Amino acid sequence: MDAVPFLNVTPFGLCTSLANPVTATATAAAFGVLTPTPCVLALIPPWIAGNPTVLVGTFPILTNDSQLMCAFGGIIKILFQGQVTVS
């Protein structure tokens, strides 16, 4: 359930989705040339595909397979879950 904008997920990168009103406006102002704009978080929780065998409280942990949807059509994925095996 860690899907609170600016608290659990911070803005990153550039958005190229014309469903994002800011990107659509910038693209229109550039006479139709796609103009990426800074990411604006429009998250649709919950995260999908956590590990149901390991829980934090009552919620599954997030893994490299976990995804969080953006209302503008993007998908947020975990690239590194922060845990490694140490010998």
pLDDT-derived band at 53 (thresholds 50, 70, 90) equals confident
Q: pTM of whole model > 0.85?
A: no
Question: pLDDT tens, 21-31?
Answer: 999 999 999 99
Residue 76: how many other CB atoms lie within 10 Å: 16
Residue 33 has pLDDT above 90, yes or no: yes
Rounded Cα gap, residues 52 and 87, in angstroms:
26
* Domain spans, the chain: 14-77
What pLDDT is recorded for position 23? 94
What pLDDT is recorded for position 15? 92
pLDDT-derived band at 40 (thresholds 50, 70, 90) equals confident
Structure tokens at 40: 């604006």
Residue 19 has pLDDT above 80, yes or no: yes
Residue 46 backbone dihedrals phi, psi, to 5 degrees: -90, 175
